[in-house]
Structure 1
Amino acid sequence: MAKVTFIGAGSLGFARRLIIDVLNCPAMRDTHFCLMDVDPKRLDYTRRIGERIIREQKMPAKVTATTDRREALRDADFVVIMLLAHGVEPIEAEYRIPLKHGIDQCVGDTLGPGGVFRFLRTAPMILDVCRDVMDVAKPNCWVLNYTNPMSMLTWAAYRGCPGIKFVGLCHSVQGTTEMLAKAIDVPYEDVRYWVGGINHQAWVLQFRHKDGTDLYPRLKEALPKSPRNKPGIADGEMVRIMMMQHLGYFVTESSGHNSEYNPWFRKRSDLIEKYTGPDFAGESGFIARAYGKDREGWEKGLEDQVNQADPIDFVRSHEYGSGIINAIWTDAPFRIYGNVRNDGLITSLPEGCCVEVPCLVDGHGVNPCFVGELPPQCAALNRMNVSEHELAVAAFFEHSRERLYQSLYYDPLTAAKLSLPEIRAMADEMIAVETQHGWLPPLR
């Protein structure tokens, strides 16, 4: 029986999905799911729904729940991190204050003011988990992180806990490639792709039919013409289509996300209106509003999920987590895209940074694949982001206010809008608010 510990298990939707995914693997049907969250009420919802899934599927798995992180990690074989540091309140501040200074964010969880401050308040918790894993979990325990900002947190985990078995996971590669296959009416199972770069900004370097035919010419022909007959593809993907037309390659993650990671799409209101749309297509403050929905309605939704009359849909998702767990446990090979330390994997990006590359998973763990050089125009944009990652990680480990300023000086969107003194003033206001609430670690 494998022990799989969820840290941040109060994230009911995600925890429920992963429980279902793992139990869909025949070898994992006796898994012990140990759920941990600091919020007992949310934790209880997840425990109840986990027990219901097991009961409905008549499986020998079990669910336990605790608010004690160290106890949850004791003797764990796998740890899945899905935590939200300090709840939803900081997210609103990390949208509102930059907006006041002219920085308009859609999501703000990966880069820019929102991403950097989210990293600084989340990294202490991630490192606490990693240290406990190395202390009390099984020697071969793997940590699977789903918490953003992925690149900065993964970099911090490797730097702060040398030897940790840690991989950052996202669904943007499989989600993007599936969307592209749909755009040109090719069955997804007939597509072969090769992707490399950084999280939320990895490049679809090859996109081929299984017979070897290059499908990129069809993509470049079809995508700009598809808003009318392919709603949900080009309607919400103007940013990524424009990037493909000018840079030659399609990039992973939504247009709303990607509109924040460069200097081109959010620096003027007319550009925002032209290139972005509702929700993840680039709507201003979308995530802040999504997290800010009324708690009473949210709790009713959880109660409804736990008590719904119909059986819970037992269908496996495309998230990589269950496949990794099954592959390591059974030594059955499985291919993923993971966020790992760049030990010569992408030669045109700095050594030691976090990169997203193909990985083969088996009983030996997560084994990253060599990608080599990226197209220079793609590497150039990645390096802009990696410079920000590097300085933010340095700010955390050095407790340095100056490094924090410097990370934002090199943020593409922030630098396109603000002068150096203006960036510093925005950061000072964010530091003051987040320090007052106890969200940030000390900065000197």
Structure 2
Amino acid sequence: MSFKLAIIGAGSLVFARTLFTDIMSVPEFRNIEIAFTDINQDNLDKVTHLCQRDLEANGIKTKIQSTLDRREAFKDAKYIINCVRIGVLEGFETDVEIPLKYGVDQCVGDTLCTGGIMYGQRTIWELLNFCKDIREVAAPNAILLNYSNPNAMVTWACNKYGGVPTIGLCHGEIHGEHQIAEVLKIPHEELDFICAGINHQTWYISVKHHGAEMLERIRNEFDSVERFQKEEKVRIDILKRFGYYSTESNGHLSEYVSWYRKRPQDIEKWIDTSSWIHGETGGYLRVTREERDWFLTDYPKIAAEPPKKYDGSCRGKEHGSYIMEALETGRTYRGHFNVMNNGCITNLPDESVVEVPCYVDGNGISVPKVGDLPLGCAAVCSQSIWVQKLAVEAAVAGDVQLLKQAALMDPLTGAVCDPPEIWQMIDEMLIAQEEWLPQYKEAIAQAKENFAKGNLIPTKEDYRGAVRIRQKTVEEVAQEHEKRNITAQ
């Protein structure tokens, strides 16, 4: 079979190659057209070189079209995979560091909280430009598979304002599934999971083994694993208080609610420092910097490693390749995707993006009706949905009042800051991110005036957060990769 696939953000140094390996592990896809596009020529060249070498090593004659012109990449494409980071690391740093001065201590800052709200402003504006190009030059009814965060906000904007059918993809629920299997001492493949909620705040509302519901065992036994008692304190506490386990990591979950990160002395109590994902201050920013520096420095070594195999042995669990395979071959695939609600979860707003079980085959993507979420879980999600809605509408219209209201309504931001602090913090972030926020031209000019007047609320300029871990050197990261490679063998 033949169709065209375009990947935007293909200069993503590790993730794009991982996705490409998954896709090319589908035997029927060996004759498809492939286009890579990015704004960074050097990164694009490096990833293209690695993927082209992998193709040739697997006996596939396809030549990757590599271009900085995204319209050229999108031309006639049936599927577009998006994995861009608008603002790259420079923008991400301001998402984490500026709120920290005001006491907002984030682990990730890419989904909700102040960092996620501002990341959404940058990403939504640019994604709507992508959607315009897709409508004009891609194949009719082209599908956008979105991996960019904040996933729910971006998927919402693309479906409502972009005019392109968009599915948001995330792998959060897969990791929790394996944790539950470990707690239950039941093989993962014997369990049937239903997750429902919103991206990064999804709940395991049913876990069955041969038809028998396991939820009560999960509630009673989850803290029986010593490792989880250390690493998943927030998730276990939420489980005890709401009755359902959250799909999201301890660090992510801790910044989406108001209870665990509002006082520095509390943060240490709720997180573990063995891995960034358990909640360290700016943890994801640290490892992203480390991986970038390692890739750029050690690229010759990476290029000398054996090519990826397309026999299925290197295929991961990201949903994108399985969705395309199901649509093109008719093989059924079931996964949890981010889609417009439209009555799927009946006690969440119809106009919101929910993460729910979906089925894919040759007839398309089907979204079964979930019904009501447990009331407490719905309440947690509803609070976040209103932040998302305010942020989406602000990004599309360049409405600074809505933007500041989104930050005001955010659970953690509101728990830490008062309204004047939030207004000043958003002004400071608008100024810092000016080059990626053209829709806020007037608001940024006003923010600059506000700062020029002085008489500002004092901030903690040198505050590094409750639990900040030293950034590893390139040599240390390289050693970790070598250990992982040896273990994998």
- In structure 2, the CA distance between the partners of 1:22 and 1:297, relative to structure 1 (3 Å rule), is closer
Match of 2:69 in 1: 68
Tell whether the 8 Å contact from 2:110 to 2:150 is kept in structure 1 after alignment.
yes
1:346 match: secondary structure = coil
User: Which residues of 2 match residues 415-434 of structure 1 at below 5 A?
Assistant: 415-434=414-433
Q: Which residue of 2 aligns with 1:240?
A: 235
Could you tell me the TM-score, scaled by structure 2's length? 0.86
Q: CA deviation at 1:287?
A: 1.8
Equivalence for 2:459: none
Residue 186 of structure 2 aligns with which residue? 186
Matched residue pairs, number? Answer: 436
Return 361-370 or 87-96, whichever deviates more.
361-370
Q: Secondary structure at the match of 2:125?
A: helix
Deviations 1:353-378 (A, max 9, x none): 11111111122332222111111100
Measure how far apart 1:332 and its partner are: 2.1
Cα-to-partner distance string for 1:154-182 (whole Å, 9 max, x where unaligned)? 111112123x2210000011221122112
Give the drift of 1:333.
Answer: 1.9
Distance 2:61 2:230 in 1: 46
**Residues 22, 29 of structure 1: 8 Å contact kept:** no
Identity rate of aligned residues, in percent? 36
- Offset from partner CA, 1:10-58 (integer Å, 9 cap, x none): 0131111112111221211222221111111111111111112112221
82-91 vs 27-36, greater mean Cα deviation? 27-36
- Give the 5 Å matches for 1:353-432: 353-432=352-431
Q: Which of 308, 312, 318 is matched with 2:308 structurally?
A: 312
Task: Confirm or deny that 1:55 pairs with 2:51.
Answer: no
Shift of 1:118: 0.3
1:257 aligns with 2:255: no
1:441 aligns with 2:439: yes
Shift of 1:59: 2.6
Corresponding residue number in structure 2 for 1:281: 278
* Pairwise CA RMSD: 1.6
**Corresponding residue to 1:267 among 259, 262, 269:** 262
Q: Where is the helix percentage greater, Structure 1 or Structure 2? A: 2
The residue number in structure 2 matching 1:32 is 33
1:296 and 1:156 map into 2 onto residues whose CA distance is: 33
Structure 2 residue runs without a partner (length 5+): 444-489
Aligned counterparts of 1:171 and 1:369: Cα–Cα separation in 2: 20
d(CA) in 2 for partners of 1:264, 1:377 = 15
Question: 1:123-174, CA deviations, whole angstroms, 9 ceiling, x for partnerless residues?
Answer: 1221111111111111132110000000111111112123x22100000112
Do the aligned partners of 1:257 and 1:282 also contact (CA within 8 Å) in 2? yes
Where do 1:93-172 residues align within 5 Å?
A: 93-162=94-163, 164-172=164-172
Contact 1:95 1:105 in 2 (8 A): yes
CA distance in 1, matches of 2:70, 2:279: 36
Name segments (4+ residues, structure 1) moved above 4 Å: 437-440
Q: 5+ unaligned residues in a row in structure 1: which ranges?
A: none
2:230 partner SS: coil
- Asked if structure 1 preserves the Cα contact closer than 8 Å seen for 2:308 and 2:314, the reply is no
Matching residue's letter, 1:202: T
Q: Confirm or deny: 8 A CA contact 2:254 2:261 kept in the other structure.
A: yes
User: What's the counterpart of residue 212 of structure 2?
Assistant: 213
Q: 57-66 or 183-192: which moved more? A: 57-66
Deviation at 1:219, TM superposition (A): 2.1
Distance 1:312 1:7 in 2: 21
TM-score, normalised with respect to structure 1: 0.94
Deviation (angstroms), 1:191: 0.5
Are 1:31 and 1:62, in contact at CA under 8 Å, matched by a contact in 2?
no
* Deviation per residue, 1:92-112 (Å, 9 max, x gap): 111111111010000000001
Tell me: CA distance 1:109–1:294, structure 2 relative to 1, closer, same or farther (3 Å). closer
Alignment check: 8 A CA contact 2:121 2:395 kept: yes
| Maintained 8 Å contact 1:86/1:439 | no
Q: Distance in 2 between matches of 1:235 and 1:62?
A: 48
What's the secondary structure of 2:154's corresponding residue? helix
